Copies of this chain bind each other. A is one copy, B any other.
Amino acid sequence: MARWEPGARERLVLAAVDLFSEQGYDETTVAQIAERAGVTKSTFFRHFPDKRELLVAGQETLSRLLADGIADAPDGATPLDAVAAGLARASEEMGPVNRELGPRLRAAVAASAELQERDALKRVGMAAAMTDALVARGIGDAAARLASEMGVLAFKQGFDAWSGNGRTDDEPLAASALAALDELRAAAAALG
């Protein structure tokens, strides 16, 4: 079955999200996360300064990749084509551990008001990073903010579909995310 072997960092993230889901974010300690992952506390601290950063690290990487993809889109790309380039770039970095993480993360967020707030703030951070990257391309403020929100919606919907329970096909995340963006693009043209 397993086509990949998670390293210590991935095992720590999976263990943490499971524990957040089972017993709550506030109640989970670094020692418990390390024990569940089968590593020492020192190993935890080689990867993350604390349990909050364990969540935030991935979010910051994601925002950076979205912005980089937008910055590197071809000259003359429309706002949505630039957002599509950002989604493609971020999707490249999402592998088996992210797919495995999806359902567990959704369960943890559903169970915790604290994680719901973190998740909401993550979406604001992703949108802000994309908006800045679009504005840097000379795109107007309203178009940049709107295209970024569409990017956030598409990434979320694409990720949820790709990492849905029971999905075992080889489709890359980019295909799901770009399909969701295309659906929103069509909807934008018909909003009235």
List A residues at the B interface (Cβ < 8 Å). Answer: 77-81, 116-118, 120-121, 123-124, 140, 142-143, 145-147, 149-150, 153, 183-192
Contact = CB atoms under 8 A, between A and B. Distances in A.
Contacts of A150: 146, 149, 191
A143 to B, nearest CB: 4
A147 B182 CA distance: 15
Q: Which 10 A-B pairs have the closest CB atoms?
A: A78-B192, A117-B117, A120-B120, A143-B187, A142-B187, A120-B121, A149-B149, A120-B124, A188-B188, A142-B183
A153 B143 contact: no
20 contacts: A77-B192, A78-B191, A80-B192, A81-B192, A116-B124, A117-B117, A117-B120, A120-B120, A123-B124, A140-B187, A142-B184, A143-B187, A146-B149, A146-B153, A146-B188, A147-B191, A149-B150, A149-B153, A185-B191, A188-B189
Nearest to A143: B187
Contacts of A186: 142
Contact of A187 (B146, B183, B185, B190): B146
A140 to B, nearest CB: 7
B117 A190 contact: no
Contacts of A79: 191-192
Contact of A80 (B123, B140, B145, B191): B191
Nearest to A153: B145
Contacts of A116: 121, 124
A140 B183 CA distance: 11
Contacts of A184: 142, 145-146
